[in-house]
Amino acid sequence: MDATGKGKAVIQTTTLAILSGILYFLLYYFSDYIMNWSQQGGWYFIIPIIIAFILSIVHGTFTNHFWDMLGIKAKSVKK
């Protein structure tokens, strides 16, 4: 990976880390509101599911970029 590729990877990883941290903070800060919305019945039960899905995607993408920057890859198994 060349210098511009490494710089871009660092920026992407840092951005995803900050976004992940912000999302976790917002989840903690608004937890009472989220609980109240999800307890209203009807389709409101989907709110925590959507939040979990978004957090999972952002944090998973950050983790993938982080390990890639460190050069750690999963071992591939040949059949």
pTM over 0.95: no
Domain definitions of the chain by residue range: 3-70
Does residue 37 contact residue 50 with C-beta atoms inside 8 Å?
no
Please spell the DSSP secondary structure of 26-54, one letter per residue. Answer: HHHHTHHHHHHHHTT-GGGGHHHHHHHHH
pLDDT (tens place) for every residue of the chain, 79 residues total: 567 778 899 999 999 999 999 999 999 999 999 999 999 989 999 999 999 999 999 999 999 999 999 989 888 888 7
Q: Number of H helices and number of E strands within the chain? A: 3, 0
Residue appearing with tokens 């952002």? 58
Residue appearing with tokens 């900050």? 18
